Amino acid sequence: MLLKISGFLFAAILTFISFSLNEITVMNKVNNGFISDNAVYFKVQSDLPISPNEMIQALDKKSVLYKNGIDSNNFEVVGFGGEATCYPLQSGRQFRKQDLDNNEKILSISGVNSTTRSGEVLGRIGFSFPSLMDYMNFSLLPCADRSVLHKGIYLIDGSSTSIQRSYIKMMSYFTNIEAKESITLLDIKPQGTYRMLNQQTALHTIMVLTLLFIFFSFIGVVIYWLQKKSDLILLFILFGYRKIKIFNHLSKIFLQQTIPVFVLGNIIAVVGLTYTHGGQLVSSVPWRMGEYLLILFLFAEAIIAIRIVKRG
Residue pLDDT, tens place only, 228-239? 888 888 888 788
Distance CA 74, CA 67 (A): 10
Q: What is the pLDDT of residue 284?
A: 47
Q: What is the pLDDT of residue 219?
A: 82
Q: Closest Cα partner for 69 from 21, 117, 3?
A: 117
Q: What is the pLDDT of residue 150?
A: 65
Q: What is the pLDDT of residue 147?
A: 55
Which segments of the chain have a pLDDT < 70? 1, 3, 21-33, 68-72, 103, 116-118, 143-150, 180, 188-204, 274-290, 292, 311-312
Residue 66 near residue 157, CB atoms below 8 Å = yes
Q: What is the pLDDT of residue 268?
A: 80
Q: What is the pLDDT of residue 194?
A: 43
Q: What is the pLDDT of residue 192?
A: 47
Q: What is the pLDDT of residue 186?
A: 80
Residue 56 near residue 78, CB atoms below 8 Å = yes
Q: What is the pLDDT of residue 267?
A: 78
Q: Closest Cα partner for 80 from 175, 165, 157, 184?
A: 157
Beta bridge partners of 185: 42
